[in-house]
């Protein structure tokens, strides 16, 4: 006999939530009802710890057609066209079963895109793992996650055009796999997920339902521990070939105006997708589990309702159009079954044939979900860690141990800085033939067919900065994506986010979360970039130890004329190398830009110091200037200064262009190491023909942006102040082959 009072804890519900459920129902729930509440009220589905803060985001703007609340956000790019995009996490599943976890993460986010009527045009990802070194498990996770992403995207025929990968011990027990997908749609073909119209049918399209992924939403709302491996069945199994068919079917149905609404079936399966459709439309819904196509015998009703089997969609269909919908699905040889019907009752009822199995007020599952305002306080580590700084003796002792050349080689071959070609060469980034810039540049750029336009996308986030100062770290994450877009001549239109944090009930963690949110709000306000979609991933802890707070930002920008596009690669001999932007980096100041730097972690094994400062108004002006310089044809390359500092930025432009550079940096501080490897913000390295220097300088002065000529392009060596002097071919080899060597050991 089912003992409901013993089961609610196993399902991840709190006692106060269990009491609230009884209040909503006016009675004790049965196991099916309790399971439905447990997944709908999970952190993963309800955002109960974050929604009170997320509502403060800027969500409207010049380009916004659809903000948060739908399957994905939508931005207007003109000519009756729009782009649809979103980012989501699949962290816990990937930690337990990396191949399927990553693959189904990609599959889920792609479904969010075509659920809006858009054809996917590219994917990006942001990944975090522990240090590779000699850790075979981290290598395994890394290899299988990359393979899962590549296999699924390649089979779908969708280019994986960009992203980022970082390695740090904080992610050793809890990797991060954040997937972003983008689609394009004619504005008059946009479709939403609201259920309406009593008597309309809810139709399941796609794969049969199995037992994979049961209680996956609950699994994603808990910390990882020694029991996590035993929960491997909670990880879904993907089939990209089926998803490709589902995609084509759905787009054909939309094109022929045969469906009224469409919803992806992701976390919590039929339950979440159908409840969300009913709630958005303020209607009731009857679901019949007997009508659901199954691939496993004797599945229980609760298993059918919360299974997270992949490649399934729910469509809202007028009864008169169901035969035509079925005809198209039969043509593609996929399931098409009416499993529900809309009514005006406001109740969510589950049947098995004529037998009523459960009855729940729809709004109690969505609007009635608990909202928590957790306590927050500054973590104990904060003051001690942030007050640390490297002394002049630290730099001197390093130079007694290594030469400038040796230091640079260690930096450029760091896994956090070196080329990620080992990753992106496993992705088909050229399929659909619209990828304009190869992975490895500041942004992914996708051409819009039959127009001059292109869309640029950038993913970024720095957990170290957010660990040292979550407010400034989150601001920098937003600002760097905008700066990356500016380096491609793109104007930012809107962003999506994936907010990865530890356990929100811990006051120190929630302090990190709250301050990160405040930072994103501030950055979006000043830079005028609305948040149009996103995801929160809490409980990223293993054995009680949390990851660094890691908000990942994915921003989209519009390039009006793709013929103006430049990359980060240096082009021609005797071009002048110029640093534009923040000019404080070579002067004495309280904040030297070394806090949280790759240099400090590499050579001193510390993540400490003050997070770099940033002036958002200055940043906005710099970005606007960079776009103007590109559109006016005044510069040949642009590359922002970020992880690793200016030495890495210049080297990457040399590597990308397969050409050397002769650089001289004014050592006002008499500390070349600090000048080379600090990570001060709001800086861009550009190159230009000599004849354009006066015009560039005038525009910088007009914008009150600092301008500094620092060298010339050319030769076969990478030379800075004659202290670093290395053949460019050697640097290219170090940069391109580091990860491959680590992974082949």
Q: At what angle do helices 728-744 and 646-657 cross, to 10 degrees?
A: 100
Give the whole-angstrom CA distance, residue 566 versus residue 678.
26
DSSP string of 695-734, one letter each residue: HHHHHHHHHT--EEEEEEE-SSEEEETTTEEEEHHHHHHH
Contact between residue 156 and residue 122 where contact means Cβ atoms under 8 Å apart? no
Give the whole-angstrom CA distance, residue 215 versus residue 211.
10
Alpha helix (H) ranges present in 184-296?
216-219, 240-255, 269-281
Q: Does the annotation mark 429 as catalytic?
A: no
With H, G, I as helix, E, B as strand and everything else as coil, classify residue 488. Answer: coil
Give the whole-angstrom CA distance, residue 510 versus residue 705.
37
Give the whole-angstrom CA distance, residue 125 versus residue 149.
9
Backbone angles phi, psi at 480, to 5 degrees: -70, -35
Give the whole-angstrom CA distance, residue 674 versus residue 411.
13
Give the whole-angstrom CA distance, residue 710 versus residue 617.
25
Cβ atoms within 10 Å of 318's Cβ, excluding its own: 14
With H, G, I as helix, E, B as strand and everything else as coil, classify residue 491. Answer: strand
The tokens 């957990």 sit on which residue? 463
Give the whole-angstrom CA distance, residue 666 versus residue 704.
21
Strands 201-206 and 160-167, sheet pairing = unpaired
Give the whole-angstrom CA distance, residue 126 versus residue 179.
7
Q: Does the annotation mark 90 as catalytic?
A: yes
Q: DSSP label at 176?
A: E
With H, G, I as helix, E, B as strand and everything else as coil, classify residue 244. Answer: helix
Tokens of 7: 């089961």
Burial class for 737, CB neighbours closer than 10 Å (0-12, 13-18, 19+): middle
Burial 241-259 (b: 16+ CB within 10 A, else e): ebbbbbbebbbebbeeebb
Give the whole-angstrom CA distance, residue 19 versus residue 39.
16
Cβ atoms within 10 Å of 51's Cβ, excluding its own: 13
Give the whole-angstrom CA distance, residue 146 versus residue 245.
23
DSSP string of 184-196, one letter each residue: EEEGGG-------
N- to C-terminal Cα distance for the chain? Answer: 55
Give the whole-angstrom CA distance, residue 705 versus residue 628.
13
Question: What are the catalytic residues?
Answer: 44, 90
């Amino acid at each position: 006999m089912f003992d409901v009072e013993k089961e609610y804890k196993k399902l991840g519900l709190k006692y106060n939530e269990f009491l609230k459920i009884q209040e909503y129902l006016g009675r004790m729930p049965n196991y099916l009802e309790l399971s439905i509440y447990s997944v709908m009220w999970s952190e993963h589905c309800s955002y109960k710890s974050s929604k009170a803060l997320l509502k403060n985001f800027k969500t409207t703007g010049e380009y916004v057609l659809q903000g948060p609340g739908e399957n994905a956000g939508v931005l207007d790019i003109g000519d009756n066209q729009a782009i649809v995009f979103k980012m989501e996490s699949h962290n816990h599943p990937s930690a337990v079963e990396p191949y399927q976890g990553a693959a189904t993460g990609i599959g889920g986010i792609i479904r969010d895109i075509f659920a809006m009527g858009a054809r996917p045009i590219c994917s990006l990802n942001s990944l975090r793992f522990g240090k590779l070194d000699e850790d075979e498990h981290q290598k395994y996770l890394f290899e299988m996650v990359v393979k899962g992403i590549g296999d699924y995207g390649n089979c779908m025929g969708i280019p994986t055009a960009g992203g980022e990968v970082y390695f740090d011990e904080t992610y050793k027990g809890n990797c991060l796999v954040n997937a972003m997908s983008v689609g394009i749609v004619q504005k008059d073909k946009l479709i939403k997920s609201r259920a309406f119209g009593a008597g309309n049918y809810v139709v399941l399209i796609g794969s049969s339902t199995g037992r994979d992924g049961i209680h996956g939403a609950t699994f994603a709302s808990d910390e990882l521990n020694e029991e996590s491996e035993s929960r491997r069945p909670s990880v879904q199994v993907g089939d990209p070939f089926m998803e490709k068919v589902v995609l084509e079917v759905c787009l054909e149905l939309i094109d022929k105006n045969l469906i009224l609404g469409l919803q992806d079936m992701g976390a919590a399966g039929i339950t979440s997708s159908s409840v969300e459709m009913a709630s958005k439309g303020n209607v009731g819904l009857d679901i019949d589990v007997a009508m659901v196509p199954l691939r496993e015998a004797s599945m229980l009703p609760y298993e059918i309702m919360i299974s997270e089997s992949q490649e399934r969609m729910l469509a809202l269909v007028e009864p008169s159009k169901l035969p035509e919908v079925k005809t198209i699905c039969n043509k593609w040889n996929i399931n098409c079954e009416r499993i529900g019907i809309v009514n005006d009752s406001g109740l969510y009822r589950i049947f098995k044939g004529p037998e009523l199995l459960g009855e729940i007020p729809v709004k109690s599952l969505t609007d009635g979900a608990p909202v928590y305002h957790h306590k927050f306080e500054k973590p104990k580590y904060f003051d001690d860690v942030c007050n640390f700084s490297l002394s002049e003796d630290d730099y001197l002792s390093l130079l007694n141990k290594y030469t400038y050349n040796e230091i640079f080689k260690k930096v450029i071959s760091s896994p956090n800085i070196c080329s990620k070609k080992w990753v992106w060469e496993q992705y088909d980034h050229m399929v659909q033939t619209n990828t304009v810039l190869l992975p490895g540049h500041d942004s992914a750029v996708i051409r819009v067919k039959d127009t001059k336009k292109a869309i640029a996308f950038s993913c970024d986030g720095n957990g170290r900065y957010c660990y040292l100062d979550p407010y400034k770290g989150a601001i920098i994450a937003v600002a760097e994506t905008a700066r990356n877009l500016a380096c491609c001549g793109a104007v930012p239109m809107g962003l999506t986010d994936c907010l990865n944090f530890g356990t929100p009930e811990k006051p120190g963690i929630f302090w990190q979360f709250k301050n990160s949110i405040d930072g994103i709000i501030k950055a979006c306000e000043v830079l005028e970039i609305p948040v149009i979609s996103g995801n929160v991933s809490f409980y990223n802890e293993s054995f009680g130890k949390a990851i660094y707070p890691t908000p990942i930002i994915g921003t989209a920008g519009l390039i009006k004329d793709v013929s103006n596009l430049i990359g980060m690669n240096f082009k021609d001999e005797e071009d002048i190398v110029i640093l534009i932007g923040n000019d404080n980096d070579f002067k004495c100041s309280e904040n030297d830009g070394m806090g949280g730097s790759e240099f400090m972690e590499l050579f001193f094994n510390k993540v400490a110091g003050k997070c770099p400062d940033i002036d958002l108004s200055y940043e906005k002006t710099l970005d606007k200037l960079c776009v103007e310089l590109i559109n006016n044809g005044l510069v040949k390359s642009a590359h922002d200064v970020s992880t690793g500092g200016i030495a890495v930025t210049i080297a990457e432009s040399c590597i990308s262009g397969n050409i050397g550079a002769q650089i001289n940096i004014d050592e006002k501080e008499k500390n070349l190491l600090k000048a080379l490897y600090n990570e001060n913000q709001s800086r861009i390295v550009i190159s230009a023909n000599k004849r354009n220097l006066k015009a560039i300088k005038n525009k910088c002065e007009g914008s009150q942006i600092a301008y500094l000529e620092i060298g010339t392009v050319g030769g076969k060596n990478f030379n800075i102040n004659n202290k670093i002097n290395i053949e460019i071919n050697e640097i290219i080899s170090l940069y391109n082959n580091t990860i491959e060597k680590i992974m082949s050991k």
